[in-house]
Structure 1
Amino acid sequence: MTISAITLGVRDLQHSLRFYRDGLGLPFPGIIGTEFTGDAENPGGSTAMLTLGNGLILSLYGRDDLAKDAGVAPDRVTGSGVSLGWFVESGGEVDDILQRAAAAGATMVRAPLQRPWGIYAGYFGDPDRHLWEVVHFLSGSAPG
């Protein structure tokens, strides 16, 4: 199995785009699909998509539209039941990303620290409480 896309349901698409693009420096090209407007029962098509280095797509999609599209209640696509891992090359990069995230409005969940299983990592929550772990593998390479 290959996961091709991760879609984050967000309260405010513009706000989340600014957080990820302007705050964290991720090269999101902007919002697409604005010509597909939703209504009370049908989702709109506005989304922001970023293709990551490994080909995985990170997508930001309005929470209400995501819920309508999936046919679930909006609270089902709120917050964080998982964490997303962002692997980086150094401990300094972990610190830098966490500092940028905090400056952009993220919630600092756990300050970075070295774990006995060989990582240096910390956590932040984005504006919609999606949980991110920023990880440096002390051995120099990620598993896999």
Structure 2
Amino acid sequence: MDQRVSLITLAVDDIDASAAFYEALGWARVPADEGIVAFDLIGQTLGLYPRAALAKDMGLDPSEIGGFSGITLAHNLPDNAGVDALYQRFLDAGGRGIKPPHKVFWGGYTSYVADLDGHVWELACNPFAPLGPNGEFQWGGA
């Protein structure tokens, strides 16, 4: 199996509100089938899909899939100021601050926020893993 994540699908309660939230962060939609919203990322796509439809696809009741499930999505930035700015942008778009930007013991700078459906994002600067020329992240540096 190739070491790859191609598509990250988030179950959302209100696809229009969630799409507007991510657009307020500066993300641009790409064409997608009706009922799906997609944002192409660097090497992956983030999809928004109605919670009830995703649950049906999996054979579950919608109450069985929620927001935070012990997984965080991470957005790494090249510097601390970028973390501060993006954290504020998440809040301005209607996200919920979980832990404000702060220095961490290992030498980085990080914060945690949640989107409208409770999906948790880590916004971080890792000085030991500088981003590549296109903003791509690799553990230990691109």
Band of TM-score, shorter chain: 0.7 to 0.9
The residue number in structure 1 matching 2:121 is: 132
The residue number in structure 1 matching 2:29 is: 28
Task: Please state how far the C-alpha of 1:140 moved relative to its aligned partner.
Answer: 5.5
1:13 matches 2:9: no
- TM-score, structure 2 length as denominator? 0.86
Structure 2 residue ranges without an equivalent (≥5): 131-137
Q: 1:6 to 1:140 in 2, by over 3 A?
A: closer
- The number of equivalent residue pairs is 130
Q: What's the % identity of the aligned pairs?
A: 32
User: Partners in 2 of 1:17 and 1:85 — Cα distance?
Assistant: 18
User: Partners in 1 of 2:65 and 2:18 — Cα distance?
Assistant: 15
Q: Which of 50, 56, 59 is the equivalent residue of 2:44?
A: 56
Q: Secondary structure at the match of 1:135?
A: strand
Over aligned residues, Cα RMSD in angstroms? Answer: 1.4
Q: Which amino acid aligns with 1:15?
A: A
User: Partners in 2 of 1:83 and 1:2 — Cα distance?
Assistant: 17
Question: In the TM superposition, what whole-angstrom CA distance separates every residue of 1:64-106 from its partner, at most 9, and x where no partner exists?
Answer: 0100011112122211111101111111110111101101100
Task: Please state how far the C-alpha of 1:132 moved relative to its aligned partner.
Answer: 0.3
- TM-score, structure 1 length as denominator? 0.84
The residue number in structure 2 matching 1:40 is: none
1:97 matches 2:90: no
The residue number in structure 1 matching 2:64 is: 76
1:121 matches 2:122: no
- The answer as to whether partners of 1:89 and 1:140 remain within 8 angstroms in 2 is no
Q: Secondary structure at the match of 1:111?
A: strand
Instruction: Decide which structure has greater strand share.
Output: 1
